[in-house]
Amino acid sequence: MDKILKLFPIIPELVKHFSVELLTVNEMCFDYEWYGNKDLRLEFFDRWGDYFDESYETSFNDVKAGKLDLTPYKFILLDDLRPR
């Protein structure tokens, strides 16, 4: 997992200065049935979970439909973990 991490390594520094919340979408939500033998969500939350003040789950359909209220946030970082 470390080889594909782009954004996550800056989280420890961010929490020194900001309140950091996490929004997980689709596969990263625990009500989604994980495919494969190793559930990477468990590894992610074991390693990074304590850094977040709050954690929320939603679907990509809700994101596309604009159902998220993003007005409380001054700054949003997105990492979809897709190699580019």
What digits encode the pLDDT tens for the residues 1-35?
444 456 778 889 999 999 999 888 888 888 888 88
Give the pLDDT score at 62.
85
- Give the residue extent of every domain in the chain: 2-64
- b/e code 10-20 from CB counts within 10 Å (16+ = b): ebeeeeeeeeb
pLDDT of residue 4: 47
Q: At residue 11, what is the residue type?
A: I
Q: Where are the alpha helices (DSSP H) in the chain?
A: 11-14, 40-48, 60-64
Looking at residue 82, its pLDDT comes to 60
By residue count, the chain amounts to 84
Chain segment 53-80, per-residue pLDDT in tens: 999 888 888 888 888 888 888 888 777 6
- Predicted TM-score of the model (pTM): 0.74
